[in-house]
């Protein structure tokens, strides 16, 4: 599968107009980044930026082989990719200057610049992330049957990330219309490839994943164009992904503010500068603008295909005859090249001046960009609806997924064992019979790829539901949830939607020990851009999951394992959506407020029933949505009862309860007649022994004791 690519066949040479366009774009990219360096050094561009000077041929050749509707995902050195794919340089400059008119409204900057209308899904500050995001866009295109292709640019350093291997395997397995393009500039940050990679050519890895891999000259714009053209044809034909490794060299340091000790030899620098893509493209353009007197070859024997007037015109320009006048055509051609350079300079200087004059974003832009608007409260039927039946928590989850998949073809489930067996807790059991394996998509054990593919799919028109088989495994998905899904809309200026659900079982109680029993909701409640839901009943599970699937924001949907096996209740048969950020008062009371989540709601209600026999009336509130939190319902209750106990299964220290307690202390301190009490798990990992497991998880007795304590009884 791996091969070195021969130089392009001169017989396949591109026409002069195309070569001129290539040359113009090479000059535009080179001059853009040269001016960005100057602007950074004078403080106009702040933070940092990463120059692609020296690597321009890759951007130009690759993007020329794509259609406008095709997708690209860039990396931190991505200015050239954006320009080559058609992004507006004025908006790019404005973004680099942090202006409101920039592509991301000044919120993304150089490392996150995007142009969604051009199929540019963004540069990315996380090494290798685009490999997964681009693959997700390719998956989306395949499922939508749009005919689009996705291409992910990444550096040689990213080829040593785990996502590289996970993505290559899944993309090849599913024959995604995907092109993986490695810009091998032979250094990660400062570490040479020879010191970080066990093989001499990264393209050799392609064979292990059943896809073609080739190494090309990344400073030859035509070689890049031809390689990507072949890969695009393969992708559009349904033959799956390709891997292209382009050898190149960045002229500058890792970033514009790196200030690193010298780590590359001067001889190496001289060697690569001599291979400058722009000089080589200019030579090719000059050659293309001359004229051969004879046929294609001495044995071609072709019918006449050039006009006699054209031949006479060019013979009159015989270079030998005109040698005494310094080859007039060689004076004309450099003049044309100079004109192309002038055009690039004029365009960029105009972009700089317009960007400098643009306003900076106001503070109001921040919150608007974090999340898309939620659906308004349309009312919910309640568990006493006439069509309600007694079903389990698992059945409620399954029914919500089923109804939403029937309602919206863009909804699909992706995860380990979700299709054929319906998940290890049976939440999707039987759905494959209705929707097929494409929408109930079983995956390899590749959490990073699963979640990042889903983010890319959500960014390009799909509504994925990611099943996390056991929620502790979310640690392998943290980049895609926290750095990609949660920030995607924000980094791109509040424009795109990110409709994705990450759902799965968390919590203890069924003896699965330390790595299968954690309650990690506090992690996600801490992250702006995420919605966090935690239903405690089958009714809430169906209504909240329906809302989560329909919402245009990333949702972390927590399902407690104990509720899978213990909870049954009335659930309406009709589809319904519980509003985001609306708590439910599970039991009214006047003496003490208990805010309880997930599996702690049932013991809180049991404790309240016991305390009622002592004359203590407990109001039990289930937030249902942890972020955003319905603070007003909690505050209204505390102003009535003057006391608050917060109970959750997660660790007490640094937990969800601490935030609720702080909020009440800040907003309702004058109404409190006792300190706020928090109850959570002991500060240890979950034990395996069943007696010890029960001992570390909050109990009904502890909740009752806390209520008595805040009443000083």
Active site positions, annotated: 447, 516
Q: Is the dihedral of CA 330, 331, 333, 338 positive or negative?
A: positive
| 3-class DSSP state of 173 | helix
CB < 8 Å & 24+ apart, contacts of 296-299: 296/11
Quick count: other Cβ atoms within 10 Å of Cβ 292?
A: 8
**Distance (Å, whole) CA 428 – CA 49:** 45
- What distance separates the 2 farthest-apart alpha carbons in the chain? 115
Element (H or E) spanning 502, and its range?
strand 500-506
Sheet holding 584-587, edge to edge: 584-587, 618-622, 592-596, 644-651, 677-681
**Distance (Å, whole) CA 259 – CA 627:** 41
Closest CA to 329 of 337, 339, 319: 319
Contact 340, 20 (CB under 8 A): yes
**Distance (Å, whole) CA 568 – CA 394:** 9
DSSP 8-state secondary structure symbol assigned to residue 360 = P
Compute the 3-state secondary structure of the chain and give helix, strand, coil in percent, each to the nearest 5.
Answer: 45, 15, 40
**Distance (Å, whole) CA 44 – CA 476:** 39
> What are the backbone dihedrals phi and psi of residue 646, each rounded to the nearest 5 degrees, phi first?
-110, 130
**Distance (Å, whole) CA 153 – CA 244:** 10
Axis crossing angle, helix 631-641 with helix 656-668, rounded to the nearest 10: 60
**Distance (Å, whole) CA 286 – CA 295:** 20
CA distances from 484 to 74, 104, 174, 498, 622 (A): 14, 15, 23, 10, 30
Element (H or E) spanning 503, and its range?
strand 500-506
Contact 471, 447 (CB under 8 A): no
Which residues fall within 8 angstroms of residue 109, CB to CB, at 6 or more apart?
47, 49, 95, 96, 98
């Amino acid at each position: 599968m791996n091969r070195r690519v021969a130089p392009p066949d001169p017989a396949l040479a591109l026409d002069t107009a195309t070569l001129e366009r290539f040359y113009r774009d090479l000059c535009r990219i080179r001059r853009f980044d040269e001016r960005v360096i100057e602007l950074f050094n004078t403080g106009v561009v702040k933070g940092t930026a990463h120059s692609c000077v020296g690597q321009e041929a890759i951007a130009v050749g690759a993007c020329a082989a794509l259609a406008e509707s095709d997708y690209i995902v860039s990396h931190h050195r991505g200015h050239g990719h954006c320009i080559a794919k058609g992004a507006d340089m004025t908006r790019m400059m404005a973004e680099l200057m942090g202006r409101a008119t920039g592509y991301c409204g000044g919120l993304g900057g150089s490392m996150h610049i995007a142009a969604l209308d051009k199929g540019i899904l963004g540069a990315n500050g996380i090494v290798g992330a685009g490999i997964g995001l681009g693959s997700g866009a390719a998956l989306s295109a395949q499922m939508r049957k749009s005919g689009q292709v996705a291409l992910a640019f990444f550096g040689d350093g990213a080829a040593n990330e785990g996502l590289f291997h996970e993505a290559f395997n899944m993309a090849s397995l599913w024959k995604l219309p995907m092109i993986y393009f490695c810009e091998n500039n032979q250094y990660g940050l400062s570490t040479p490839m020879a010191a970080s990679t066990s093989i001499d050519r990264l393209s050799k890895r392609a064979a292990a994943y059943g896809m073609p891999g080739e190494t090309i000259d990344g400073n030859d714009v035509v070689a890049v164009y031809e390689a990507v053209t072949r890969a695009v044809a393969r992708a559009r034909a349904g033959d799956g992904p390709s891997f292209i490794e382009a050898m190149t060299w960045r002229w500058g340091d890792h970033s514009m503010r790196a200030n690193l000790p010298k780590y590359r030899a001067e001889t190496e620098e001289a060697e690569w500068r001599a291979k400058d893509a722009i000089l080589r493209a200019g030579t090719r353009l000059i050659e293309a603008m001359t004229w051969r007197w004879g046929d294609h070859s001495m044995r071609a024997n072709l019918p006449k295909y050039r006009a006699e007037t054209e031949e006479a015109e060019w013979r009159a320009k015989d270079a030998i005859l005109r040698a005494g006048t310094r080859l007039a055509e060689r004076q004309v051609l450099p003049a044309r090249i100079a004109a192309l350079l002038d055009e690039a300079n004029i365009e960029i200087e105009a972009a700089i001046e317009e960007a400098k004059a643009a306003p900076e974003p106001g503070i109001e832009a921040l919150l608007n960009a974090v999340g898309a608007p939620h659906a308004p409260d349309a009312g919910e039927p309640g568990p006493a609806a006439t069509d309600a039946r007694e079903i389990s928590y698992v059945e409620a989850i399954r029914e919500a997924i089923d109804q939403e998949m029937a309602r919206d073809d863009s909804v699909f489930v992706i995860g380990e064992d979700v299709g054929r067996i319906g998940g290890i807790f049976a939440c999707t059991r039987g759905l494959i019979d209705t929707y097929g394996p494409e929408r109930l998509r079983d995956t390899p054990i590749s959490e990073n790829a699963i979640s990042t593919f889903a983010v890319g799919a959500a960014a390009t028109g799909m509504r994925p539901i990611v099943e996390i088989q056991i929620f502790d495994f979310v640690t392998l998905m943290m980049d895609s949830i926290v750095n990609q899904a949660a920030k995607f809309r924000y980094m791109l200026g509040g424009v795109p939607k990110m409709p994705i659900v990450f759902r799965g079982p968390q919590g203890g109680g069924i003896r699965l020990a330390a790595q299968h029993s954690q309650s990690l909701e506090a992690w996600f409640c801490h992250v702006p851009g995420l919605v966090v839901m935690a239903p405690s009943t089958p009714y809430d599970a169906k209504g909240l999951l329906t809302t989560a699937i329909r919402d245009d924001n990333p949702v972390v949907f927590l399902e407690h394992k104990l509720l899978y096996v213990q909870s049954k209740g009335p659930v309406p048969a009709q589809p319904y959506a519980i509003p985001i950020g609306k708590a439910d008062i599970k039991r009214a009371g006047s003496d003490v407020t208990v805010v309880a989540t997930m599996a702690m709601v049932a013991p809180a209600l049991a404790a309240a029933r016991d305390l009622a026999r002592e004359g203590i009336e407990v109001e039990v509130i289930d937030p249902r949505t942890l972020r955003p939190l319905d603070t007003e319902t909690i505050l209204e209750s505390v102003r009535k009862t003057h006391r608050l106990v917060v109970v959750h299964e997660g660790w007490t220290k640094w937990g969800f309860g601490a935030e609720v307690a702080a909020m009440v202390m800040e907003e309702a301190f004058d109404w409190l007649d006792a300190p706020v009490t928090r109850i959570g798990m002991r500060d240890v990992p979950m034990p395996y022994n069943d007696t010890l497991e029960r001992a570390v998880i909050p109990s009904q007795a502890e909740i009752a004791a806390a209520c008595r304590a805040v009443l000083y009884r």
